[in-house]
Structure 1
Amino acid sequence: MIPAETTGRGTQVRRPGGKLLPSLGILLVTGGLVLLGWFAYLWFEPAQAPYHYQQIATGSVQDYPELELDAWPELEIRRYDVIVPEAEKPVAQATVAQRDGGAPVLIKWENSSREVLHALDWKSSELSALAAAINRYAEKDALIVAWWDISQQINLLTGHDTLFSSHLNEPLIIPQHWQVDIEAIDAYEQSFWQSKPERRELEQFERFALALTAEPEAGVAQLRELIGPERAAYIIVHVTDLYKLGLMYPEKIGVAYQNFPLTGNIHGMINHMKVQLKEHDFDTYTLQSITDMEIRVYFLSDEQSSKTLLAGMLPFTDKDAPTELEALQLLYQKGGYWLYKIPGGPE
C-alpha cells in the first residue's frame, strides 16, 4: 500500500487549487520578463537632460526692439526660459531667430545663475552692427570664418557663406555636476536646435580652434590651409572666444574671468584688476562690456597664452595692439567683435 501522502511515479495528484498552478507559473515567468524588460529600458533609454527650454513668447523683430534687428523684418523671434526643475527661477533665457521655418539660431543669451550655462552674454547692438560691417567689407562670395555660434548668426543676418553652419556646442559649457548627464544634454541640444553636425565639420572646427592657439604667423597659415588657397576669407573673433578656447585647450591657453560692477570710481576698479593680476600671477587682461552697469575682465595666465593668435587679435594691457598684428589685416571693431581679412585668396 502506498500511503496517501505519497504518489507513485505514474500518478498525477490533484489538490484543491491545482488548476491555478500552471497559470501562476506563467504569471511569474511573465512577471520576470516584464521586470527584465523594465531594467533593459532603464539601461538603454538615455537619461533626461537636467533642464529644458520653455517657450514664453514669440513675435516679429518689431516686438523685440532691444535686439536691434529692424533691418531683418522677415525674421521670426522666439524667447525661451531655461528651466531647471529644482531651481526657483529660470537659470537663463535664450532668444532665437528663424527665417522661413529654418533651424533656430541663438541671437541673445542671458545667464541668470552664478554658473555659466552654454553661452556667455554679448550685446545685441554689437551683433547687428557687425552684420552691417561684413556686408560693407566682404565680397558676396567670400567665406566667413568664426566660432560656430557667430557663424550661424552671420549666415542668418548677411547670407554670407560660413565655414561652420551647424550648432556644434563646442565646447559644451555646463556646470560640473551635470557632467554625468553629458550624453543626454548633447542629445537634447541637437534635438532643440535641429542640428546634428557631421564629423567633417567637427574636425574642421577643431582645426580652426587649434589655429587660434598657435602663434600668429603659424595660426594664420593653418587657417589659410583649412580654407583653401583660392577663396577670399575673413575671420571674426569675439572676446568671449577666449573663455571657450580656454575650456577646449587649457594646456595651450589659460583663461580666467571676473565680473565687475561699473561705478564712477574707474581708478579704483583698475587698481583692483591689477591686484588680481599680481595675486594670481596672471600675465595680462582685457575687458568686455556686458551691460551699461557691468563689465567682464578676462585674464591670461602666462606669456605662452598671450602669444597665441587669438590673444594677438584682441587688445590686452601691456601687449601690442591688434592694429600692429602683421599676420592679419584689421578692418573693423566694435565692442567685443573684431573683423580681419585673411591674406591670400584671389588677387
Structure 2
Amino acid sequence: YKNYQTDAAAKDASRTSTYKLQLSKMKSLSDLLIKDPVFGRDALDYVLRAFDLDPATESLTRIRRVLQSDVSDPNSYVNKLGDERYEKLAAAFNFDATGKVREQQQVVSTAAMTTVGTKYTASFGSDLSAAKKEVLKSETAKYVDAAGGLRSLDDLLANKTVLDYTLKAYGLEDEKLTTAQLKKLLTSDLGDRSSYANSFGDSRYSDFAASFNFDTSGKVKVSEGSVQEPGQRLSTENLYLLTTMEAEAGDTNEGTRLALYFLRHAPELTSPLKMLADKAIVEVVKTSLGLPDSFSSLDIDKQAAIISKRIDVKDFQDPKKLDAFLSRFAGLYDVKNADSSASPVLGLFGSVGGLLSVL
C-alpha cells in the first residue's frame, strides 16, 4: 500500500504542478475551457474532479454558465441548479457574467478582517493574561476561517461565529439585533445620511456595516482580483487530492474510500440531520459508534437524537479530533470486516498527522 501511496502522490503532484502552470497563464474563462495546445483540457478536468464532477459527462455550456454566475445572487443560474457542487465551483473562481476575470469578490476583505480582529482584541482591554491571549488568538483564527468561507448575505446571517465576533468588536453584542435588523444594516447605503445604518446616529452601526462588502441589494461587492486567489487555488488543490485518492482507494479498500469521503465532506456536517442525509456518512458514523444495522430503520428523529448524544459535530472542524474519529472508524471497520492485515485505512488516519497533514 505504501508503494501505491507514493505512486499516487507523485501523479497528483504532477497534475497539480500542471494546473498551477496553466492557471498562471489564464486571463479569462475561455482560457480554462478551451483545449491547450500542450495540455489539452487537463486544467478543466482537474477542476471538475476537485468538485466531484465527471469531466466525461459534464457539459461545457453548463460549466461556462456556472462559472459566469454570481453565487451571492439567489436568482443566479448556479443557485437555481440546486446542486452544492456547482455553487462551490462557481465560488472558487472570479469570473464575471461575460467570462472575464472579475475583481475579487469577498464578503469580508483581508483589510476588514485585520481591523475587526484588532477591535475585538482591544474590547477586552490591555491587561490580559497569557491564557486570555491564547483564547482570543483561537477565537480570531476561527473568525478568519469562517469569514473566508462566506459567499453571500444569507451565509453571513447564518454564521454565528462571524456575526458574534464582529458585533463584539464594535460593541454591539448587547443590542440584541434581530436578523431583519442585521439585514437592513448590512444592505444600507453608507453614503446616504438617511440610510438605516446612519439613522442610529451612532458610528458603531455604520462601522459594523462597513466591515462587510454588500451592496443595497444584498449582493457581494467586488475589488481587484485574479482568476483564482491563493486561498481558492489551495482549496481546489486539496479537494482534487481528496477526490482522486478517494476514487483510486475505492478500487482496493472500501474502508479507505469511506474514510476519505467523510474527510472531504466533514466541513459540511453541521448537524446530525445533515449526516443522516448521506448514506456513506451514515456508514462511517454507525461503524465508529458501534451502532447496529437496525439503527437506520429507526425514526429519523431518534437517529438524530442518538448521534447528538454521542457526537459533537463541532469536533469535525478540529483536525486532531477529526483524525481521532476516523482512526476509530478505521480500527472498527477492519474488525467488522475481519481484516487483520496491515490496514490502509489506519495508514491514513492512524496518527494525528495522517492525511490531514497534507491539507
Work out which of the two has the higher radius of gyration on C-alpha atoms and give 1 or 2: 1
TM-score range, shorter chain: under 0.3
Whichever structure has more strand as a proportion of its residues is: 1
Higher relative contact order (CA 8 A, sep 6+): 2
Whichever structure has more helix as a proportion of its residues is: 2
TM-score (norm 2): 0.26
